[in-house]
Structure 1
Amino acid sequence: MADTIIINPVTRINGFMEIAAEVGNNVITDARTKGLMFRGFEKMLTGRAPLDAVYFTQRICGICSTAHSMASALALEDALGIVPSEQGRYLRDLLHACEFLQNHLRHLYQYTLPDYVKLPEGYPLFKTDHNDYRLPDNVNERMVNDYFESMEYSRNAHKMLAILGGKAPHNHGVFIGGITSPVTADMIIAIKSILFGIEKFITEKMLPDVYEIAAYYSEYYHFGGGYGNLLTYGCFQHYKELGTLYVDPYIYTNEQYSHLDPELITQSDEYAWFNEANEPDREKPEAYSWIRAPRYNGVPFEVGPLARQWLSGEYRHGISVMDRTIARVLEAKKITQIMNTLLENLIPGVPMQQEYVIPAQANGKGLIDTTRGSLGHWLTIEDEKILFYQVITPSAWNLSTQTGEKKGTAEQALMGAPVKDESMPVEIGRIIRSFDPCVSCATHVIIPGKTSKIIPVV
């Protein structure tokens, strides 16, 4: 008989996620991802002035607040018929790129590394009981030093963001048309100086570290892949004329590549705690999560750095836990290169704001790839106010509920994965962590007939 392992809470920065896994013969045979906190930001926006959305939606998340300001600005530009200036686009994408670097540095060292690297005894922020540490002492010691050093560079990425956006998180810079104030020569010089140090750390420390981990945990190349369906809304794709291009909107499924069609994006409430009137319903039969199920042409897709690296052709080693982790680090290096190109093409002092007229009625959508994957904002304006607002986040794509008999993306990634020790299922934490959940949490493992045990997963 299969044992049930329940990990609760995990993954959310301002909420709770539960993973329920059935394990038989040391293999996961069934899995469910359960989002356990209702927020309802879209309902809060109803009746508000449309331009408020750029700042309001940033409060959805303190980790990726810039991403929401970008998607909201794009949705409003679509609704108002605004095309940002070239310089406005450069600056806004630079601001967004700072968040990529801050996130990817933090994810590898603060969230992923402690799964594989043993931190000093007595370290107050992390404690674990698992014993699957394989790095030689000298390698482990070097990575511990990199762990602490990375905090400076992650913080410096937010410093760059604050230079352009006024503050971080929840910047005041991103807005329709570009950003709220022109850039100065001093700002460009300061950002270049900070970026130089971050790029050096990524090249000399971060890349070697992730490949060293992969060498000692090579079996993680062989599970955690899921369906292998990959999707991106596009990321820094407008700069071919500048000699840099990341990835256009594409999908990959059944070993075939095709252009993304936004009209094929849907969202199901089948197993989410929402009724037919789109109202919260915690008593809904068979529902098990607040997370809805985004689908593309009815199919679940993975979004994030691995999808972007694969669809851009820059990394196609495989689709697995370790490939996901490596792709995020390779993307960090790619982002520094894009930022350097944009910085060289900035013109100080160019204004980009004007007075905007809100239409009586309009619809708009903003689709953009962010740190964790594809983010979409949709809105309807009626009587110059927001009538409807919808957000589909990367975590919804990756951590969705099932539809019919088809598992969500992370649920499928767990299927078939080995669990060597059911009392200490470190493999589950590593798989879920590879999708870049927001926080490290304690894990509760419940096995029928056995005592519950709290286990730190990160």
Structure 2
Amino acid sequence: MAKRVVIDPVTRIEGHLRIEVVPENGYVKNAYSSAQMWRGLEVILQGRNPDDAWMFVQRICGVCTTVHALASVRSVENALQLEIPYNAQMIRNIIIAAHALHDHIVHFYHLSALDWVDIVSALKADPQKAAKIAESYQDWKLNGASVFKAVQDKLRKFVESGQLGPFANGYWGHPAMKLSPEVNLIAVTHYLQALDYQRKATQAVAILGGKFPHIQNLAVGGVSTAINLDNEATLNMERLYYIKQLLEEVREFVHNCYLPDVIAISAFYKEWLNYGRGVDNYLAVPDLPQDTKGEVFDLPGGTIIGGNLSTVKPIKSFNDPYFINNVAENITHSWYKGDWTRHPWEEDTIPEYTGMPGGYVDGNEKYSWSKAPRFRHNGNYIPMQVGPLAQVLVGYAQGHKLTKKYVDQALSMLSSLAGTKADINALQSTPGRHIARAIRAQMLSDLALKQWEQLVDNVGRGDYEIFNPPSYPAGEIKGCGFHEAPRGTLSHWCVIENGKLKNYQAVVPSTWNASPRDGKGQMGPYEASLIGNPIAEPEKPLEVLRTVHSFDPCIACAVHMVDTEGEEIVKVKAL
């Protein structure tokens, strides 16, 4: 067997992920993505009330909380063909945007930037020189030599104490690290500042949602966020203007700091624009609905096949059969009973753990708790990459004005800083996924304020409606609820019989991207994106982490834990 490099667990992600690669002559020849947790929410929900599902499923993850709650209520509303009031749509939209802004900021600075930034190198930086470099590519109010010097002094205390805290165990000094000490100091400074701005985004979510994480204000049929401008205990103008203030501050950080940082680092590592493409079929769903039926959206969705933008096909509504009829999951290489490809409404979830008898993946056995979602195209089920890159490409291909505006601006800046022409295809890469995520954050920071204005205008006209009560018919109904979550296309699928959940499935972004091979041997996006990646030191596989982290893995969403012996792990008493 060829020599293997195993990263287990991959850190700076949510959940337990095992990546196994086969290096050859300094590059990755083969790769396997293995999710090491099992998700049992599908089983737990059987027989329960559809109204309650959203409270359960947002416990799938401590990071991706609001997204599962939203997809769940949309799934049940879709089954009932239930419209929700305009105010409820706008409140949901603000929560969607604010949560995603928090998520995108955290992902770049706190989860993945350390793959590119050599923290310890920042101690050698000249703060005056760092200030000049920062001013050359961004207009951010919290730059300056004194700011950079203060951060450098703080970092020096970490290092001299022998306790690097969150910066411990990094591949500092790795030959693949190439930023100057001054750029490293800029990045460390913004890492610390980003902690404050991601918090501002979560504050906005908490005001509307009641708490964060795990919001409390959703309901099948709308929201429970009471609106009364004359009541201090409800959503009033004081709270609304505080939300606006928070959103404006986050927008300033995204536009003036986050996006320029991502583009600058991508330009310094411009050779990486040739690595990490992998699966170039893309899937995104429309979001930020602008009506009560879910037929008009501020963000577009659709598919692109083979990386060719001319193949774009839109997904137009919550009822679009192009999406609903063509999603399936395969379990040939997943630790579930059987070997099938089924539509989510027809699936079961029966765990059957067989492990890896040889200690490594041989390509023939089951090797992951993640299923393998696939999309039917011309009669074949094919892998799809989901995430901000998919949404940006789909929007750009459809001529979506806001997408096109910010993509063109980003590519112009990238070309200028890199000293070489970068077109839309440059985004189909490891750093391209980071750039696309920052572009999406730009759009969401604008659109969050648009949703706020629309909500305030509507309330100002005297409309306080927030809820349309559901009514469950006898017999069987089916629903699909989708949402373009921070990590990509999320869909929840329910089968309701006589008012109770008969079946429930969640097909999540990290299941699409982290999927193992399917029955035809087709790789999932993580696996495919690693092929051809450089790997300078197999004992320190930094480059592998760069590409995996660019997807922002959330394995807790893809799967959950199980004791393979069937023993009870913990008992919790509800008081």
Contact 1:11 1:438 in 2 (8 A): no
Provide the C-alpha distance between the structure 1 equivalents of 2:330 and 2:349, rounded to a whole number of angstroms: 11
Q: What does residue 379 of structure 1 align with?
A: 494
Q: Does 1:300 align with 2:342?
A: no
Q: What does residue 448 of structure 1 align with?
A: none
Deviation per residue, 1:407-443 (Å, 9 max, x gap): 111100001111111111111000000000249xxxx
Residue from 465, 471, 475 that aligns with 1:357: 471
Provide the C-alpha distance between the structure 2 equivalents of 1:282 and 1:165, rounded to a whole number of angstroms: 38
Q: What does residue 416 of structure 2 align with?
A: none
Residue from 271, 280, 290 that aligns with 2:333: 271
Q: What does residue 545 of structure 2 align with?
A: 429
Q: What does residue 283 of structure 1 align with?
A: 354
Contact 1:360 1:381 in 2 (8 A): no
Residues 213 and 375 of structure 1: CA distance in aligned 2, closer, same or farther (over 3 Å): same
Residue from 302, 307, 311 that aligns with 2:394: 311
What is the deviation of 1:217? 1.0
Amino acid at match of 1:137: P
Q: What does residue 84 of structure 1 align with?
A: 84
Q: 1:7-406 alignment to 2 at 5 Å?
A: 7-10=7-10, 15-119=15-119, 120=155, 121=159, 122-127=163-168, 128-130=170-172, 131=174, 132-181=176-225, 182=227, 183-236=235-288, 238=290, 246-254=298-306, 255=308, 256-260=311-315, 261-262=322-323, 263-276=325-338, 278-283=349-354, 286-297=365-376, 298-313=381-396, 314=403, 315=407, 316-318=424-426, 319-346=428-455, 347-348=458-459, 350-361=464-475, 362-403=477-518, 404-406=520-522
Contact 2:99 2:202 in 1 (8 A): yes
SS of residue in 1 equivalent to 2:350: coil
Provide the C-alpha distance between the structure 2 equivalents of 1:227 and 1:267, rounded to a whole number of angstroms: 17
What is the deviation of 1:126? 2.3
Out of 247-256 and 40-49, give the one that drifted further: 247-256
Identical columns (%): 31
Provide the C-alpha distance between the structure 1 equivalents of 2:218 and 2:199, rounded to a whole number of angstroms: 20
Provide the C-alpha distance between the structure 2 equivalents of 1:160 and 1:105, rounded to a whole number of angstroms: 15
What is the deviation of 1:247? 3.4
Amino acid at match of 1:291: S
Provide the C-alpha distance between the structure 2 equivalents of 1:248 and 1:237, rounded to a whole number of angstroms: 10
Contact 2:84 2:468 in 1 (8 A): no
Out of 180-189 and 260-269, give the one that drifted further: 180-189
Residue from 527, 538, 542 that aligns with 1:411: 527
Provide the C-alpha distance between the structure 2 equivalents of 1:87 and 1:237, rounded to a whole number of angstroms: 11
Residues 235 and 11 of structure 1: CA distance in aligned 2, closer, same or farther (over 3 Å): farther
Contact 2:98 2:247 in 1 (8 A): no
Contact 1:12 1:438 in 2 (8 A): no
Deviation per residue, 1:388-413 (Å, 9 max, x gap): 10000000001101112211111000
**Aligned alpha-carbon RMSD (Å):** 2.0
Amino acid at match of 1:123: L
Q: Which structure features the higher share of helix residues?
A: 2
Residues 8 and 65 of structure 1: CA distance in aligned 2, closer, same or farther (over 3 Å): same
Residues 142 and 31 of structure 1: CA distance in aligned 2, closer, same or farther (over 3 Å): same
Deviation per residue, 1:212-244 (Å, 9 max, x gap): 1112111111010102111111132547xxxx9
What is the deviation of 1:187? 2.0
Q: What are structure 1's unaligned runs of at least 5 residues?
A: 440-458
Contact 2:254 2:445 in 1 (8 A): no
Deviation per residue, 1:77-101 (Å, 9 max, x gap): 1122210112211111111111100
SS of residue in 1 equivalent to 2:467: coil
Contact 2:472 2:498 in 1 (8 A): no
Contact 1:69 1:175 in 2 (8 A): no
Contact 2:171 2:542 in 1 (8 A): no
What is the deviation of 1:245? 5.9
Out of 113-122 and 32-41, give the one that drifted further: 113-122
Contact 2:85 2:465 in 1 (8 A): no
Deviation per residue, 1:300-357 (Å, 9 max, x gap): 0110101111110133343000100111111111101111111111134713225432
Amino acid at match of 2:504: Y
Contact 1:251 1:311 in 2 (8 A): yes
Provide the C-alpha distance between the structure 2 equivalents of 1:163 and 1:70, rounded to a whole number of angstroms: 17
SS of residue in 1 equivalent to 2:165: coil
Provide the C-alpha distance between the structure 2 equivalents of 1:402 and 1:230, rounded to a whole number of angstroms: 17
Amino acid at match of 1:383: N
Number of equivalences: 436
Provide the C-alpha distance between the structure 2 equivalents of 1:99 and 1:425, rounded to a whole number of angstroms: 31
